[in-house]
Structure 1
Amino acid sequence: MRNAGLPEPSGPQESGQGPHGGDPLDRDVWRLRSRACWDDAAALLAPRAAAEPGPALHRTAVLVERCMFTGEGWGAAEDSLRAAEALATDDEERGAAACERGHLAYASTLLGVRDRADEARAALGRAAALLTPRSPTRPLLDFRRGLIAQHLSDNPSDATAAFQRAHAGAAAHGHRLLLSFTWRHVAAMAEHDGKLAEARHGFAESLRIREELGYLVGIAPALASLAAVVGEEAEAVRLRAEAARLVRLLGGVPGWLAERLGLGALGQAAGA
């Protein structure tokens, strides 16, 4: 499957993960995160993350996202996750932390750092047991279970079902950033099945949301995916050229896309 190598992140909550969050700190973190300045974003969260479960998990998500885009920073992400797990006080917080552990283990496996597939599945299973059906974290959990079915278990039917549940949940909870991911992966499954019109629609919706949110670091992958199914060579060339421009702007992030676009090593991302 063409998208099997797309290591993309998504955060544990929507609060502050867009340009219109209510907390000034969250807005500042979002601006840094969306421009690939993950270390700076994590530093802003560090004081509150030392004592509060929510900021601790948010900081962990930022650092895991850095791992997914750069293949670096695993130790910092693991340390942050352990701290977030220690601060969790109820089932919602423990379930969200388990969901993040599953995602970190999945990322390590997908990127070939260390095979942690069993840990990923166990952690997401634990999250499913802790989170209520109406939990705002449940759509993210469904999405990540879909990633494991798609990329680690090679089970397209289970992946499609999980992505569809996540998509419906993200829409219901107003989680727009997550919705951009679910659109993207629902589209990837449609592409896998040869349903190119559905794939084009899904990739275009994912791109639209990312542009509206200002999620700069995620726009280039969306452009590249749309280019692969757009059908018109001139438009595909334009989309790939724009994706390459953004990757260069961010210093070669994401690395896997820089390689695919033939850009070679472009150095560190800003703030990384």
Structure 2
Amino acid sequence: MDDRLAEALERYEAAVFAGATEGLDTADRALDAVEADTALARGRIRHARFLAARSAGAEPAPEDPIEIALFDRALALYQSLGDTHGEAEAQFWVGCYHQVVRGDMDTTEPMFARAAELGDDLIRSYALRHLAFAAQHAGRGAEAQAALAESTQLRRDLGFSAGVAANLVAAAYFTAEGGPGDAAALLDEADRLAADAGADAVKEWVAEARATLTSST
């Protein structure tokens, strides 16, 4: 049993059998933390299903309103608990839903900025990646490249090779749109890193990028 669930059970028994009702608020907080973690995890699973459907050719991939409800619930619970790490992660996923699922590139930047401010290096790397997409969409190419480069360096420092490879694919597209660098070299490195990490989906992104960038030249 999760320690937090065990604590809630102990608080319940203490209240019922010993009259120690002062522990019930503590039990509620423990259960709020479990619910927040579960909501976030369920939301991520639903997002993975969305990405799988889109990859399989569902255009547009079906929107799942339960996904955003789960992320919103997690965010509210983490905020009430004062859990800044959880808040950062949930805030990122709320922004990710609006940007990736709904295609909202204009109003999500504050969400990602907040996630980057509160989060650890891994969450920050995700937030910066999506801030880069928003900046690129808005025509702020230099800002987009800087955010993506910072995200990539954080991922290198963490040893997150699959994430580095994913960022290099994005960097190749940015380069093809007029940014500095060698798109082919970026894709070569992305392919190597993805292979080493067993990130087959990212290898497919590399192949798609090669085909797209070759046909556009």
Select 2:156's aligned residue among 211, 215, 220: 211
CA deviation vs aligned residue, 1:99-136 (integer Å, no higher than 9, x gap): 11112112212321895611112212222332225312
Paired position in structure 2 for 1:167? 116
Select 2:143's aligned residue among 171, 188, 198: 198
Paired position in structure 2 for 1:149? 98
SS in structure 2 opposite 1:204? helix
Select 2:46's aligned residue among 105, 124, 137: 105
User: Number of aligned pairs?
Assistant: 174
1:129 to 1:262, Cα distance in 2 relative to 1, 3 A: closer
In the alignment, is the contact (CA less than 8 A) between 1:146 and 1:163 conserved in 2?
Answer: yes
In the alignment, is the contact (CA less than 8 A) between 1:247 and 1:254 conserved in 2?
Answer: yes
- Which whole-Å CA distance do the structure 1 matches of 2:179 and 2:118 have between them? 33
In the alignment, is the contact (CA less than 8 A) between 2:63 and 2:101 conserved in 1?
Answer: no
> TM-score, normalization: structure 2?
0.71
Give the structure with the larger helix fraction. 2
In the alignment, is the contact (CA less than 8 A) between 1:110 and 1:151 conserved in 2?
Answer: no
In the alignment, is the contact (CA less than 8 A) between 2:169 and 2:205 conserved in 1?
Answer: no
Task: Report sequence identity in percent.
Answer: 27
- 1:29-108 maps to which residues of 2 (within 5 A)? 51-52=1-2, 89-108=30-49
- Which whole-Å CA distance do the structure 1 matches of 2:136 and 2:179 have between them? 16
Paired position in structure 2 for 1:182? 127
Paired position in structure 1 for 2:191? 244
- Which whole-Å CA distance do the structure 2 matches of 1:196 and 1:53 have between them? 47
The gaps in structure 1 that reach 5 residues or longer are 1-50, 55-87, 264-272
CA deviation vs aligned residue, 1:173-225 (integer Å, no higher than 9, x gap): xx111111111110111011111100110110011011111112211111121
In the alignment, is the contact (CA less than 8 A) between 2:75 and 2:86 conserved in 1?
Answer: no
Residue type at the aligned position of 2:115: A
C-alpha displacement of 1:233: 7.0
Paired position in structure 2 for 1:131? 78
- Which whole-Å CA distance do the structure 2 matches of 1:105 and 1:232 have between them? 34
When Rg is computed on C-alpha atoms for both structures, the one with the higher figure is: 2
- Which whole-Å CA distance do the structure 1 matches of 2:137 and 2:145 have between them? 12
- Which whole-Å CA distance do the structure 1 matches of 2:194 and 2:138 have between them? 29
The answer to which structure, 1 or 2, has the higher relative contact order (CA under 8 A, 6+ apart) is 1
In the alignment, is the contact (CA less than 8 A) between 1:106 and 1:116 conserved in 2?
Answer: no
1:116 to 1:152, Cα distance in 2 relative to 1, 3 A: closer
